[in-house]
Structure 1
Amino acid sequence: MHTAPVSTPSVPSDGWNPAQTGHALFRTRLGVCGIAWGAQAVVALRLPEPSLEATQMRLLEHARQRREGLWPQAQAPGDLNAQALQAVAGAQWFAAAR
């Protein structure tokens, strides 16, 4: 009797893990911006849209086009990885300088 091998989810060869993704909205002088990230990198950064909901929708749309992920929303600054925190700080600094 031949049985088919059991398929288990795996991390792609480039190391991307869809379970290690997230997104957050953050305030700047320009308005509410958005960021999406994975364990290795920031995937998307979105400038303010006419509404908070539009910013979030466009951010997630762009992130999903670039990479597979669950994209849960961060509830606290500690939920962001180091790269995302650095990008948020840079965007806030840039917006404040304008």
Structure 2
Amino acid sequence: ITIRWTPGHSGIPGNEEADVLAKDAAKGETSPTHLLPQSLCHRKSPRTLPRSKSAIKQKFTQREKTRQKAIFKASPRAAMTLQIDPSLPSASFLKL
């Protein structure tokens, strides 16, 4: 068996320029404003990005689960219920 590395993007127009731009971005250098999409041009800070809807939802869900667990553990029935099933509150319980 012979294993050879084959550059997948060699010879493709624009690839070298894309590599240079990607490395610049990784170093923290920003793109010229006129090359950015309209949604990114008028930001308060060039280093801030628009908020991700899925990231906001994920953070909200995690905070809500933490809050619901605290409510459950503070309830008068929690001590007895946890003796029966220490894994509570489960995800299905939290949906109630």
Q: TM-score, normalised by structure 1?
A: 0.21
Report the structure, 1 or 2, having the larger strand content: 1
The structure that has the greater radius of gyration is 2
Report the structure, 1 or 2, having the larger helix content: 2
Q: TM-score, normalised by structure 2?
A: 0.21
